[in-house]
Amino acid sequence: MATTPPAASTPLPAAGDRSPAPDLARGVMLLAIAVAHTPPLLAHWGTGALDRAALFTATLLAEDQARLLFVLLFGYGLGQLVRREAQRGSDWPDTRALLRRRGAVLLLIGFLHTLLLPLDIVAVYGTALLLVAPLVRARTSTLVWTGALTAVPGVLMLSVPTVLLERSGVSATLAPMMAEGPLAHVLGNLQAGWPLETLLSLVTVLPALVLGIAASRLRVLEEPHRHRDLLVRAAVVLGAVSLAGRLPHTLVVTGLWPTESAPLLHTASALHVLSGHAGGFAAAALVGLWALRPVDGPFATAVAALGRRSLTFYLFQSVVFVALLYPFTLGLADDLGAAAGLCVATALWAVSLALAEWMRRTGRRGPAETLLRRLTRSPWRVPAGR
């Protein structure tokens, strides 16, 4: 039976019911994802002052940082899920089976998403749940060590290809590889290295994933009032570390620091990725501080509604990007510079915000979230232990 949709003036749940902070963080994250995905889909970034400023903003605040915030929140959500299952009386074999079913469905969704747009993270989540689900029960010290030991290879896997592309003069965008027709587009994405690329990408997400699980044990976002000092320190210190560490690569990308030195390029790129972890935590801390204040206004309510449907609107972004930018659709990739692309990303997030708020008012769940829940909890699944 459908539930009665909440009234427009209903405040967001307070701590002790459902804290708004995790949903707010996911809603904000989708703006960062849209901004980060736009430059790689454009044929050129433009040379004007506005284009350079837009590229500077996207590189400093979103590229290699939005993705890590996404992973951090995914790990945090896993910790919440395992805690809820324990409160319901589920034993570990049942919870592990649930996580692996969830992983299999995410892997399928991610595979289908990859056929649409070769900028996927969902399949990596699925792979993580299938291969490293027991980490959700590991000691916090084990999680910290896992994050530390995988940080170096993870950073190198993301940063080294970036530098090699820059030094080779090859375009840093996907535009040269965009197919002229939909069938060629799907076939090209199918042959683009999946699933090996997805498997290797697991190393790049493990540091943020396990640290997100560890943070969930402190209930930092569910109970921000208890961790106000920690959130302030994280926002200030990690935010400063992120900006300082990501600035050199940003200057290189925007042409404000021209250099051909390979050691400098590699160092700047590695710092950019590594500092993205700090930036992800800083962004989550800022949202936690936001949740300390009354957040029952229309904007916060809409952002939280978007966050509750983050998987749906992550996929929605990809549909819109393909519809706008690819040669077999509107083909705007050749016509937009970085500034116009940033405007498109912001407008896309605003439309997502409005749609999510409409879904909240009318009592509609996100279609992707509904599908994920039904498939992972379907009664015809084989029970754990068989």
Do the beta carbons of residue 279 and residue 246 sit within 8 Å?
A: yes
At 131-152, the pLDDT tens digits run: 888 899 999 999 999 999 999 9
Do the beta carbons of residue 101 and residue 375 sit within 8 Å?
A: yes
Q: What share of the chain is helix, strand, coil (3-state, %, to 5)?
A: 75, 0, 25
Diameter of the chain by CA atoms?
Answer: 64
Amino acid in position 311: L
Residue 168 pLDDT: 66
Q: Kindly provide the b/e burial profile for residues 123-134, where b requires at least 16 CB atoms within 10 angstroms of the residue's own CB.
A: bbbbbbbbebbe
Supply angle C-alpha 340, 346, 348, rounded to 5: 100
Rounded Cα distance, 68 and 281, in Å: 9
At 140-199, the pLDDT tens digits run: 999 999 999 999 998 988 888 878 777 766 667 888 889 999 999 998 888 766 777 888
CA distances from 96 to 82, 99, 144, 149 (A): 9, 5, 21, 24
pLDDT beyond 90 at 352:
yes
- Of 3, 73, 78, nearest to 32 by C-alpha is 73
pLDDT band at 382 (very low <50, low <70, confident <90, very high): very low
At 200-236, the pLDDT tens digits run: 888 999 999 999 999 999 999 888 889 999 999 999 9
Cα atoms in the 13 Å half-sphere on the side-chain side of 329:
14
**How far, rounded to the nearest angstrom, does the alpha carbon of residue 232 sit from its chain's CA centroid?**
23
Q: Pull the structure tokens for residue 166.
A: 């820059």
pLDDT beyond 60 at 77:
yes
Tell whether pTM > 0.85. Answer: yes
pLDDT beyond 70 at 124:
yes
Alpha helices in the chain (DSSP H): 21-37, 49-61, 66-87, 92-116, 122-132, 140-168, 182-190, 196-217, 228-233, 239-253, 262-290, 298-308, 310-325, 338-361, 367-376
Do the beta carbons of residue 260 and residue 166 sit within 8 Å?
A: no
Most confident of 11-25, 82-96, 156-170, 226-240: 226-240
CA terminus-to-terminus distance, the chain: 33
Rounded Cα distance, 146 and 211, in Å: 9
